[in-house]
Amino acid sequence: MTEPCKWIKSSYSGGGGSCIEWAPAHASATGVVPVRDSKQPTGPVLMVSADAFSGLVALARAAEL
């Protein structure tokens, strides 16, 4: 990722401090979804395929939190 991403918070993060962000425009352009911890915006970024990201979303939807 050489260009800055426009990050958005996951709708599954809730109102607490545990938030993840992803960059949908980057995902649309490349097929690779960047994911990061919103509390550490300069920290590491997890890069996953669109299929893997879809699996993460399905897991979050199914989880009993």
Q: Residue 37 forms beta bridges with which residues?
A: 20
**Could you tell me the residue ranges of all domains in the chain?**
8-62
- The single-letter DSSP state of residue 4 is P
Q: What is the pLDDT of residues 4-17, one digit of tens each?
A: 789 998 765 566 66
The whole-number pLDDT of residue 19 equals: 84
User: Which tokens is 19 given?
Assistant: 């938030």
Q: What is the pLDDT of residues 15-40, one digit of tens each?
A: 666 688 999 999 999 999 999 998 89
Closest CA to 5 of 50, 40, 45, 54: 45
